[in-house]
Structure 1
């Protein structure tokens, strides 16, 4: 066998293996870009050596075989694949080929011939299916399979909510085969994976795998529980007449109740096609579903018939692919970075590869649990994924390409920056008087701010725009200040002198004075900004706002006991313990005292406890927060009603206790308060509730109702208004601004390009305002201008 024949044979075997994993097992082993490269290589070799082409070559069929668990369906009209365009030149070549095939003048290299009309729609990343309607009734559903024979999935497609079981209207052909893509929207995919993780089920790598796996379940009830959708892109066998153009035909199908793409458009000539491709590419990440390109089809059906087919693809259609979001490359090494909280994170160092148009040399591995889950070793060939501005990540390993000298990944015992010990975190779960400890997924350097990496990241966070907002203190400047030992805590920033700053690289007189002015201007932060800037573990911007808005003074936040903090919205016991521990730390206390003392910071928006939380506590509720074993809220309410005060509960005799609660619970209460420190702890919590004005005997203040109190709003899409300004205005009216849409959402403000959040709002029937309506709402109802 010649070298060429051997290579062709090897390519066919590899492509067949990939096809089997992709179409039959729903477990693709390589990115689409790698498959496309192998396929193009085989095409080129077969074009040079047509005598070696065989009927079973992957270039002569679509790929995949029907699973034996499903019945087989023979496609009367083969379900073909599409040719691909990867560059603009490829699309120009396709257009010239169309013009030439239609006998149009001027189909030359400069594209100067008559302009051909094309239908344009996104190329959905799902599973191709055929739906057969007879006399308007859905009678069969089938997968594409190998293009000639597919799998009978009739029971499953009937469970897809947007697939009509009966066509609407009238005039449809007696036999109508509709073809399209079954896919899973991004929001549904995220919810499905969350449910799977909660129940210990299999999670999916991407929406395409989730859609394919869901559609090909032997139990239709499982398919019915999955958020699948169908989108039609064409037809197969038809017994009657349909409109004479692709766009009109799809619009007619839509009138009969068949879902089609909302992005369907008509383009006149190749330049319009390219403009559509660029527009969809810019909006790709905001769409509610995954796409991997755009499909262009000659619009006139008669012209399609004239142009005809190749063995595998039509001459009249092409898929213009986006730059690959997944690629193969080699994992050269794994290094470890140290973050603001001391987390030691593995980072993949890669053989540089272009992914989605960007050269990638590094990717995240998240943590050592993820390294173990992937089974990744240094030297492996790995699949890298990059979507939009998301940090590239290692998605999977290609085990068959593992070299003999591959090395395992080990967490370092000492911090790579400061040499301190690296320890695995422990997760403490607290409930009903018990604490259970388990190993966490994060390893931390114990060096804290003596570790330069942690110090740098802590100060970078402190000065960031959403925190203290000190303009001019970029990452490189902070690294210089730490390396030169000019700062060792955030408080040291306020002691910097002109002479120290001008000595830094990149600073002159004007820039030094500007930085000093910016530092000075930051001395009057709001309470919420200051709390966020401190970098308390698990306390993000929203939690910082809750603390500031509810307790309204740093003194109360610093003193607050964990049980008291849990009275505040969205603060659970674990986060409450993190907050309390942070403010109990001696070093943190020194830095905060220095900032408020010698550094001269003056916190804004401090005041009295929020009226919403005045006298909010009850005796029964406070007793319940003590998590007495075997004693729930019903029992603690009975105690409160019987005894009337904490001291009475603590001093109650056995007879009173036994008359109030069953013997087992009464005994649990007595044993709990007899335990070391529990009674003292209860008294401390009650005293703090008194001090804060939250005690049941405190004066109840009148809550001035904010107009949007209790409402949750979501901002999405490309809004011209500054997102932070809009958020502040809504929060000032009492609303909570969330990052995702749920059944509890009151209103969504959607700008151009709004994707999955807008789709979810429409699905749930939630009120949606565009930007003009939002501005009018604030101006006319609340006298608020956004500009």
Structure 2
């Protein structure tokens, strides 16, 4: 009996998948809805009777997942890059000239029309970019684009989108196929969704794009399943297997495997064909069943795409020709000021609500007061508002002839709108040889620091974030509530929260309270690098925090490190070094750090100065870092050789006769040296730098350390593709523990490349440069050999 049921279930699934393909992809339904429903209900009944026969790719499993507490993270092995934009015909012509030049093709001139490039053309859907990963033809993962490198795992939600196949159709698809495309909401579905929301007293969406993005990022997949979402494939990412040689044929192959592609897909010969397509689609834009904000053109030949390559974040072989941004007139009602994590006080335009490109706009960013002055903006003005790229509202221009007599100037507040503290204008300090020039910055900043609730909230949101202290359950709203009720006045106060204090807060019950307190307790053993990043030091991101932790090895060293000493670390410039030093010199910051340690935070992975930096300094480098006018690297080296020590240099600077015969120094440099060390403060500062170099073990007379146990010291490695036995972050950490530097790009100085499945341009570059390449199995064997 079970075998009969299994056969019938397989027949039904095959029939339903075929009907889905004909309906969603070919737009040629072959049975009425009633017949489709009968087949679907029969399949569902059989699966209820035989649950052991249910499979993840069954058509009935689109709404079966439980609600999530949060989305996981997905690292895109091949980044999901943005497209460059063309806003005019000339921009597109310029793009085409760049393509022809990059391919070495003759361009049009007086004697001929040149060679026309073939482009694939399709509308630019206004939705949410997603990645779908198929293994052996079965959908195994869905992810958002995120920041291009890391997205959110929305696998449960993409399974509910009706026209996304859970299993690929036909044959010939690669064993691993990552499909990229757009999830969007058709106009009629959007209107119906909002109509239902109005009837039930719910919240409506501003536009189909917001509706699609909000629907796809629901933690409960059943909500996503209830929304009228559709998917359209526009390209691929990681692939293991053969594919067609043009973009157009690639999309046709995706269509044959059951994936919907744009019905407006066309080929165009040359840039004029692209312009004709752009104008034709633009004329039909309002009549399309979905919103679009432009047209995407891609060089059709995939080998040509490979040859053209990429810029930092955009391909040279594709461009989005955007439709003109819609502009409207409205009134500037007021300018208010918001306060960010670093205290930056930013002006925001409050506008008389106006519809711009289908969206009600009532606020627009003004960036800073320099922008306000550039626009000549006054409160009461009539202004032109534009949605740049159909997304971000901007005040573009003031209509001066409509300025009312009672218009008021926009004034930066003298006190913070949140805490009342003084607002100061930032200064830009440019440090050079012998002097530091100071100019006014464009940013105004509240000096209230963590006594300002706006800064405090943003600081704590950063402190608890996933890549910082990683306290699960402390979302923005909860942080705001904790600050508003006065339970948290600094990050250290999180570690004093009690069950009785939390359980009475909005949204908390006994279980959620215990979970939050457990998560806070679990965060008490961060690595030194995580802790440094969590502190929110200006201009110190994750990589700089890792460098500080790895190089100096202990919080005690980082806290007291002088700016000049910090610049011995790679990629730490003097401006960032001053930010780090100033942060730890601040009494309030030192108090918060002390409280964190007193309240149970125990830093992990602390230790000695990294062997790479032992005795790394030289006297010549120290002299160069003192920024004495006229003394650059060569002069500093000559001076160091002549004097032999810092005390010798100080003495020599005041011995005019000996100094005058010192080789390699100009008269100007000698005078500057004498004046520099004639100032007692400069002598004290130079001696302090030398003393700290000795204390840290970085001084030229310090003991050099043999990089024992660090067999990869001095080597640069690159990871690319997917690692199946571990994450890329883990692979990086293990290499760094062996002394290697892990870089993001391949060069002639790269020692080795580890290439997992899906490796792309980095693997190609390694082959071109003759850099050794290890697959994952060989990499694991190498780690085992080194005892890592």
Q: Does 1:328 align with 2:326?
A: yes
Which aligned pairs between 1:569-588 and structure 2 lie closer than 5 A? 569-588=570-589
Report what 1:453 is aligned to. Answer: 454
SS at match of 1:459: helix
Task: Rate the CA distance shift 1:706–1:364 in 2: closer, same or farther, 3 A.
Answer: farther
Report what 2:782 is aligned to. Answer: 781
Task: Rate the CA distance shift 1:702–1:320 in 2: closer, same or farther, 3 A.
Answer: farther
Task: Rate the CA distance shift 1:516–1:784 in 2: closer, same or farther, 3 A.
Answer: farther
Q: Does 1:557 align with 2:558?
A: yes
Task: Rate the CA distance shift 1:437–1:779 in 2: closer, same or farther, 3 A.
Answer: same
CA separation in 2, counterparts of 1:276 and 1:752?
26
CA separation in 2, counterparts of 1:549 and 1:340?
26
Which aligned pairs between 1:328-347 and structure 2 lie closer than 5 A? 328=326, 334-347=335-348
CA separation in 2, counterparts of 1:663 and 1:297?
70
Which aligned pairs between 1:751-762 and structure 2 lie closer than 5 A? none
RMSD (Å) for aligned C-alpha atoms: 5.2
CA separation in 2, counterparts of 1:344 and 1:263?
49
SS at match of 1:324: strand
Q: Does 1:275 align with 2:260?
A: yes
For residue 567 of structure 1, report the CA deviation from its aligned partner: 0.4
Report what 2:712 is aligned to. Answer: 707
Q: Does 1:659 align with 2:597?
A: no
Which aligned pairs between 1:329-478 and structure 2 lie closer than 5 A? 334-348=335-349, 351=353, 364-372=365-373, 379-385=382-388, 392-394=391-393, 397=396, 404=403, 410-478=411-479
CA separation in 2, counterparts of 1:655 and 1:427?
40
Could you state the TM-score of these two structures normalised by the residue count of structure 2?
0.58
Task: Rate the CA distance shift 1:688–1:95 in 2: closer, same or farther, 3 A.
Answer: closer
CA separation in 1, counterparts of 2:84 and 2:645?
64
Report what 2:265 is aligned to. Answer: 295
Task: Rate the CA distance shift 1:691–1:95 in 2: closer, same or farther, 3 A.
Answer: closer
CA separation in 2, counterparts of 1:494 and 1:144?
56
Task: Rate the CA distance shift 1:684–1:260 in 2: closer, same or farther, 3 A.
Answer: same
Report what 2:697 is aligned to. Answer: 693
1:398-439 deviation digits (Å, cap 9, x = unpaired):
667995458765433332211222222101111112110011
Task: Rate the CA distance shift 1:400–1:590 in 2: closer, same or farther, 3 A.
Answer: closer
Equivalent of 1:672 in 649, 671, 676: 676
SS at match of 1:178: coil
CA separation in 2, counterparts of 1:751 and 1:411?
54
Between 1:368-377 and 1:460-469, the stretch displaced more is 368-377
CA separation in 2, counterparts of 1:565 and 1:419?
35
For residue 359 of structure 1, report the CA deviation from its aligned partner: 8.0
Q: Check the 8 A contact 2:427/2:438 in 1, yes or no.
A: yes
1:514-548 deviation digits (Å, cap 9, x = unpaired):
22211111111111111111111111111111110
SS at match of 2:293: coil
Q: Check the 8 A contact 1:539/1:575 in 2, yes or no.
A: yes
Q: Check the 8 A contact 2:86/2:92 in 1, yes or no.
A: no
Q: Check the 8 A contact 1:565/1:571 in 2, yes or no.
A: yes
Task: Rate the CA distance shift 1:554–1:297 in 2: closer, same or farther, 3 A.
Answer: closer
CA separation in 1, counterparts of 2:615 and 2:485?
51
SS at match of 2:102: coil
CA separation in 2, counterparts of 1:665 and 1:298?
65
For residue 677 of structure 1, report the CA deviation from its aligned partner: 0.5
Task: Rate the CA distance shift 1:522–1:569 in 2: closer, same or farther, 3 A.
Answer: same
SS at match of 1:336: strand
Which aligned pairs between 1:609-648 and structure 2 lie closer than 5 A? 609-648=609-648
Q: Check the 8 A contact 2:614/2:697 in 1, yes or no.
A: yes
Report what 1:178 is aligned to. Answer: 116
Between 1:720-729 and 1:458-467, the stretch displaced more is 720-729
For residue 601 of structure 1, report the CA deviation from its aligned partner: 1.5
Report what 2:502 is aligned to. Answer: 501
CA separation in 1, counterparts of 2:359 and 2:756?
27
Q: Check the 8 A contact 2:425/2:442 in 1, yes or no.
A: yes
Report what 2:200 is aligned to. Answer: none
Task: Rate the CA distance shift 1:761–1:779 in 2: closer, same or farther, 3 A.
Answer: closer
CA separation in 1, counterparts of 2:84 and 2:601?
54
For residue 182 of structure 1, report the CA deviation from its aligned partner: 12
Q: Aligned residue pairs: how many?
A: 540
Q: Check the 8 A contact 1:470/1:522 in 2, yes or no.
A: yes
CA separation in 2, counterparts of 1:416 and 1:339?
12
Task: Rate the CA distance shift 1:762–1:371 in 2: closer, same or farther, 3 A.
Answer: farther
Between 1:487-496 and 1:652-661, the stretch displaced more is 652-661
Q: Check the 8 A contact 2:425/2:444 in 1, yes or no.
A: yes
Q: Check the 8 A contact 2:719/2:728 in 1, yes or no.
A: no
Could you state the TM-score of these two structures normalised by the residue count of structure 1?
0.58
CA separation in 1, counterparts of 2:769 and 2:587?
49
CA separation in 1, counterparts of 2:538 and 2:625?
22
Q: Check the 8 A contact 1:713/1:735 in 2, yes or no.
A: no
For residue 592 of structure 1, report the CA deviation from its aligned partner: 1.1
CA separation in 2, counterparts of 1:693 and 1:123?
48
